[in-house]
Amino acid sequence: MAPAKKILVALSGGVDSSVAALLLKREGHDIAGAYMKNWINEDNIVGHCPWMQDIEDARRVADKIGIEFQVVNLMRDYRERVVHYLLDGYARGLTPNPDVMCNREIKFGVLRAWAKDHGFGAVATGHYARRIEREDGRCELLEGVDKNKDQSYFLALLDQPQLRDARFPIGHLEKPELRQLAREAGLATAGKKDSQGICFIGEVKMHDFLRAYVPEKPGPILRAGDEQVLGEHRGLHYFTLGQRKGIGIPSNTDGQAYVVVGKRTPDNALLVAFDQLGAPGLFQHHVDVHNLSWTGEPIIAPCALEGRVRYRDPRVPITFTPQSDGTARVSFRDPQRALASGQIFALYDGERLLGGGVYL
């Protein structure tokens, strides 16, 4: 790993960032830890937001490792750059990805700027991804070795300057190996469960979060094709393409379940169909993406690549065709299910992350 002036480790209070700090310390780097205070459940959202416990856990890890630790208040920036993006997207019928935006705008955006202002040359996180620095100084990002935990997808909107200032110390580890290192080092987070909530908000269900901030706007549930009214929904923002559960209408007499195949904002209609290959709007052979971001040089000519349509999905073969308006057409060899507008599409050349964009 290339030396840096000083490395700021974003300690979340979880085991992954704890081991990231541990490894950097053992490698002899000059490091300090910081907890990003992004949200304190100030509006009494239903759900568990354990920020105080996370700060305490992060502080205990820093003390054990023997590094400086502080809390950095980024609440205003987080609300402006992530929460507003999230709520605005859902209000417009999209399915945004706050985790990807948090990485671009907060961890390697606002926190990176704060780190530079305070004498740090890089920001390290506990992402399962590998950063490779080439001889010419350019950096590449590879998937994490642990394919069950690989988080390169969430870094798809980082650019080259951000990547140069990023460090991912645990990308070469499998999760069981990482926990073993934490146990051997006596870290307080060694057995702590992984967070399943919204990025740095905590164990808050998205449904509860949206209920608190996006006004409900009831509308019809229509069967795609014949437009038969099957029921009423409380708001399009509660649904996403491909959703099976929680629609509020029963299966048919043969036990076939309905699935969301579209959200029609002009008449506020939720479109559903039976969950099968021929369901209208459920499977796509191609999709357009915009807001393209590249970890290296932009791709300006049609080519064969691989893409990840959502986190945890395998990479799939695609043809990538740039358009004159700055968007791109992505064509799939095999049709892909439930590609929701507003979600992130990540581009790869094998294990190497090239960049990503947003579904139109």
Whether residue 139 lies in the annotated active site? no
Annotated catalytic residue 102: yes
Task: Read off the tokens for 97.
Answer: 């990805």
Helix axes 15-26, 175-184, angle to 10 degrees: 70
Active-site entry in 49, 102, 139, 303: 102
Residues 6+ apart with CB under 8 A from 206: 198
Q: Which residues are catalytic?
A: 102, 199
